[in-house]
Structure 1
Amino acid sequence: MKKLILTSTGLQNPNICKAFLDIIGKPPSKIKILFVPTASRTKEELKYAKKSKKELEKIGIKLIKTINLDCKLNYDEIKSYDVIYVCGGNTFYLLYKIKESGFDKIIKNFVSAGKLYFGVSAGTIICCPNIKIAAPFDNNDVGLKNFRGLNLINVILSPHYCEADKKFIKNYSRKSKIEVIPLRDNQAFVVSGKSGEIIQ
Structure 2
Amino acid sequence: MSKILLTSNGFFTDVIKQHFLQLIKGHLASKKATIITTASQQKQTNKFAIKAKEDLLRMGFNQVDFTDVEFDKPDSLENYDVIYINGGNPFYLLYHLKKSGADSILKKLAKQDIVFVGVVLEQLFLDKT
Q: What interval of TM-score do these two structures reach, taking the shorter chain for normalisation?
A: 0.7 to 0.9
| Root-mean-square deviation over aligned CA pairs | 2.0
Aligned partners of 1:86 and 1:123 also within 8 Å: yes
CA distance in 2, matches of 1:40, 1:33: 18
Q: Calculate percent identity across the aligned residue pairs.
A: 34
CA distance in 2, matches of 1:55, 1:71: 23
Q: Which structure: greater helix fraction?
A: 2
Greater Cα shift, 91-100 or 18-27:
18-27
Matches within 5 A, 1:103-114: 103-114=102-113
Aligned partners of 2:57 and 2:63 also within 8 Å: no
SS at match of 2:109: helix
Aligned partners of 2:40 and 2:89 also within 8 Å: yes
CA distance in 1, matches of 2:124, 2:94: 9
Aligned partner letter, 2:55: E
Deviation >6 Å, runs of 4+: none
CA distance in 1, matches of 2:123, 2:106: 13
What is the aligned length?
127
Unaligned runs of 5+ residues in structure 2 are none
Give the equivalent residue in structure 2 for 1:49: 49
The Cα shift of 1:125 comes to 2.2
Give the equivalent residue in structure 2 for 1:121: 120
Q: TM-score, normalised by structure 2?
A: 0.86
Task: Go from structure 1 to structure 2 and tell me whether the alpha carbon gap of 1:32 and 1:71 turns closer, same or farther (over 3 Å shift).
Answer: closer
Tell me the alpha carbon deviations over residues 139-164 of structure 1, each in whole angstroms, 9 at most, x when there is no partner: xxxxxxxxxxxx13xxxxxxxxxxxx
Give the equivalent residue in structure 2 for 1:6: 6
Q: Which has the larger radius of gyration?
A: 1
Tell me the alpha carbon deviations over residues 169-190 of structure 1, each in whole angstroms, 9 at most, x when there is no partner: xxxxxxxxxxxxxxxxxxxxxx
Aligned partner letter, 2:74: L
Q: TM-score, normalised by structure 1?
A: 0.58
Tell me the alpha carbon deviations over residues 57-101 of structure 1, each in whole angstroms, 9 at most, x when there is no partner: 221222112211114423xx4334211111001111111111111
Give the equivalent residue in structure 2 for 1:67: 67
CA distance in 2, matches of 1:41, 1:106: 23
Aligned partners of 1:3 and 1:117 also within 8 Å: yes
